[in-house]
């Protein structure tokens, strides 16, 4: 057992491996009203025999076990005022649960039931429901543009599993037996990292995790994981792509532009994170906001994002604008990206950006749920817990040269531009 002490809001995180093979990272917060748990399960879509398989399993976990119907599970969850969901995100699946301390045992009994005894019986019906929800999501032009970006950048890989791709693959998921094999292979304690924060005592938590999550007999895991890791680690776009997505009754053109970026464990993660804040994530002082919204009035919503996954990353820009301003916005994107490459960030702006990032961490880690989620995401992505306490010094160490370097590497690569809007904005 190791104890890692972190400054600020994350202190005394305990890290231990349980007899059943699960890993527990735990922060005792006596003042928190509830216990927050995030269970990260290795695999995610990287182990799908057909893309989307684990997403279907996620849904079916709550739809019936050997002793409980879907409604029984719903009544049990609501009866405990348990907030619980399972969601798969590319590299791993995550069970999130927030509960009252006195309901720990009852909550774990329920988690045990869905992790060990799910029947996956409503397989075909759930596929129909998933399709309906995906159609609903794609009725939003902004969601359609985002969908287009991700599925084009990461075409034919698990990182490109978007709503429209899932709609295409749904029909290929036909075997409940295959789903059951994947379920038992993935939902193993040895694949789990439990990140827990709250007022519960460690011994009580360890006892519950050990009792309710016994080791399962090993099932053969789908063997796609290592192949995808190799593919994604080396993944690059071959050329620029412009993807028009007409929606003729739209009022805006929703424009995304994205580039393949380094993964979360890369040394370049830190300068890129600083660059992202500076460019479009700082808020009202971000460069894109100041230039394209404030000065030119081109948008209400304009920003940048850096999604860093375990084996790759995506850096992207977004703007929602009047269709006739499409080219002005793309020019604006290009100008701001070029500036990052050619003009060193001033000391003042760099210092303000870093203070912005580090100051915001207090709000991002205010609740037990936020703490549990963040700590879990760090270890689940393969980073050591020391990353948490070293984060501040790594950000502080980023220089203007670092930003120019990562900007040059990034923006010299091909990009995908996805635009959803009226047809005339593609003319």
Nearest alpha carbon to residue 306 among 253, 255, 263, 360: 263
Nearest alpha carbon to residue 329 among 289, 369, 382: 289
Smallest gap from Cβ 365 to another protein, in A, equals 8
Cβ distance to another protein smaller for residue 7 or 384: 7
Query: Backbone dihedral region of 314: left (phi > 0), alpha (psi from -120 to 50 degrees) or beta?
Result: beta
CA distance to 153, 169, 321, per residue, from 312 (Å): 11, 23, 29
Cβ distance to another protein smaller for residue 33 or 414: 33
Length of the chain, in residues: 427
Cβ distance to another protein smaller for residue 140 or 231: 140
Tell me the C-alpha distance between 152 and 240, whole Å.
Answer: 11
Smallest gap from Cβ 161 to another protein, in A, equals 20
Cβ distance to another protein smaller for residue 86 or 193: 86
Cβ distance to another protein smaller for residue 227 or 423: 423
Smallest gap from Cβ 367 to another protein, in A, equals 5
Q: DSSP assignment of 275-344, as one string?
A: HHIIIIISSTTSHHIIIIIIIT--EEEEEEEEEE-SS-EEEEEEEEE-GGGHHHHHHHHHHHHHHHHHSP
Smallest gap from Cβ 414 to another protein, in A, equals 29
Smallest gap from Cβ 157 to another protein, in A, equals 26
Cβ distance to another protein smaller for residue 31 or 412: 31
Contact positions vs another protein (CB under 8 A): 8-9, 31-34, 62, 70-71, 73-75, 77-79, 81, 100, 125, 128-129, 132-133, 135-136, 138-142, 247-252, 254, 282-285, 290, 293-294, 296-301, 320-322, 324, 351-352, 355-363, 366-368
| Other beta carbons within 10 Å of 293 | 19
Kindly give, in sequence order, each residue whose CB lies less than 8 Å from that of residue 273, ignoring residues fewer than 6 positions away: 306, 308, 357, 395
CA distance to 1, 31, 36, 79, 99, per residue, from 196 (Å): 16, 14, 6, 22, 11
Tell me the C-alpha distance between 213 and 188, whole Å.
Answer: 8
Please name every residue paired with 65 in a beta bridge, in sequence order, or none if there are none. 118
Smallest gap from Cβ 283 to another protein, in A, equals 5
Both tokens of 32, joined, read 């928190």
Cβ distance to another protein smaller for residue 193 or 365: 365
Smallest gap from Cβ 30 to another protein, in A, equals 11
Cβ distance to another protein smaller for residue 37 or 357: 357
Given CA atoms 134, 136, 138, 140 in this order, what sign does their dihedral have? negative
Smallest gap from Cβ 357 to another protein, in A, equals 7
Smallest gap from Cβ 346 to another protein, in A, equals 13
Cβ distance to another protein smaller for residue 260 or 395: 395
Cβ distance to another protein smaller for residue 101 or 382: 101
Q: DSSP assignment of 235-253, as one string?
A: ----S-EEEEEE-TT-SSE
Smallest gap from Cβ 49 to another protein, in A, equals 25
CB 182 within 8 A of CB 217: no
Kindly give, in sequence order, each residue whose CB lies less than 8 Å from that of residue 316, ignoring residues fewer than 6 positions away: 149, 256, 257, 258, 259, 304, 305, 307
Tell me the C-alpha distance between 207 and 344, whole Å.
Answer: 54
């Amino acid at each position: 057992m190791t104890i890692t002490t972190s400054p600020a809001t994350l202190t005394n995180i305990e890290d231990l491996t349980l007899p059943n093979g699960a890993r527990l990272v735990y922060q005792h917060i006596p003042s928190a009203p509830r216990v927050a748990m995030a269970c990260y399960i290795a695999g995610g879509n990287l182990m799908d025999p057909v893309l989307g398989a684990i997403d279907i399993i996620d849904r079916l976990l709550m739809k019936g076990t050997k002793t409980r119907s879907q409604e029984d599970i719903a009544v049990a969850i609501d009866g405990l005022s348990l907030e619980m969901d399972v969601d798969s995100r590319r590299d791993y699946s995550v069970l999130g649960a927030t509960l009252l301390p006195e309901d720990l045992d009852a909550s774990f009994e329920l988690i045990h039931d869905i992790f060990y005894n799910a029947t996956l019986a409503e397989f075909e019906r759930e596929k129909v429901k998933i399709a309906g929800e995906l159609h609903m999501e794609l009725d939003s032009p902004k969601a359609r543009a985002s969908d287009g970006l991700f599925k084009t950048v990461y075409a034919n890989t698990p990182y490109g599993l978007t709503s429209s791709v899932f709609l295409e693959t749904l029909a290929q998921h036909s075997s409940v037996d295959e789903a059951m094999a994947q379920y038992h292979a993935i939902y193993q304690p040895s694949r789990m990292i439990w990140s827990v924060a709250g007022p519960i005592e460690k011994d009580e938590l360890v006892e519950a995790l050990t009792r309710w999550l016994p080791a399962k007999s090993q099932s053969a895991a789908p063997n796609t994981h290592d192949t995808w890791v190799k593919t994604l680690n080396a993944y690059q776009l071959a050329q620029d792509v412009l993807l028009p997505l007409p929606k003729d009754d739209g009022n805006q053109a929703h424009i995304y532009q994205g580039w393949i970026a380094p993964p979360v464990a890369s040394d370049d993660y830190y300068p890129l994170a600083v660059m992202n804040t500076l460019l479009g994530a700082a808020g009202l002082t971000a460069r894109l906001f100041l230039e394209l919204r404030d000065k030119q009035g081109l948008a209400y919503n304009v920003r940048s994002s850096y999604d860093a996954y375990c084996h790759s990353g995506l850096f992207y820009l977004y703007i929602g604008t009047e269709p006739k301003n499409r080219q002005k916005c793309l020019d604006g994107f290009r100008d701001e990206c070029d500036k990052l490459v050619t003009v060193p960030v001033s000391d003042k702006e760099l210092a303000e950006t870093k203070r912005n990032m580090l100051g915001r961490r207090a709000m991002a880690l205010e609740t037990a749920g936020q703490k549990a989620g963040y700590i879990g995401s760090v270890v689940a992505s393969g980073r050591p817990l020391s990353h948490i306490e070293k984060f501040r010094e790594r950000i502080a160490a980023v220089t203007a040269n670092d930003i120019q370097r990562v900007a040059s590497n990034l923006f010299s690569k091909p990009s995908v531009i996805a635009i959803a809007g009226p047809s005339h904005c593609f003319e």
